Copies of this chain bind each other. A is one copy, B any other.
Amino acid sequence: MTEKHNKYQSGCPIAYGLDIFGDRWSLLVIRDMAIKGARSYGELLKGSEGISTNILAQRLKSLEESGILQKAKDPQNGRSFIYSLTQKGRDLAPVLADIAMWSAKHNKAGHAMTGFSDKVQADREGVISRIYAGELP
Residues of A within 8 A of B (CB): 3, 8, 10-18, 22-24, 27-28, 31, 49-50, 67, 88, 91-92, 94-96, 98-107, 109-114, 116-117
Contact = CB atoms under 8 A, between A and B. Distances in A.
Contacts of A16: 103, 107, 110
B13 A107 contact: yes
| Number of copies of chain A assembled together | 2
Given A11-B111, A95-B98, 12 more contacts: A11-B114, A13-B99, A13-B102, A13-B103, A13-B114, A13-B117, A14-B103, A91-B106, A94-B98, A94-B101, A94-B102, A95-B95
A88 to B, nearest CB: 5
A24 B13 contact: no
16 contacts: A8-B49, A11-B110, A11-B113, A12-B112, A12-B116, A13-B99, A13-B107, A13-B110, A14-B31, A14-B116, A15-B28, A17-B103, A22-B22, A94-B94, A94-B102, A98-B98
A49 B103 contact: no
Nearest to A111: B11
A47 to B, nearest CB: 10
Given A8-B49, A105-B91, A106-B88, A96 B14 contact: yes
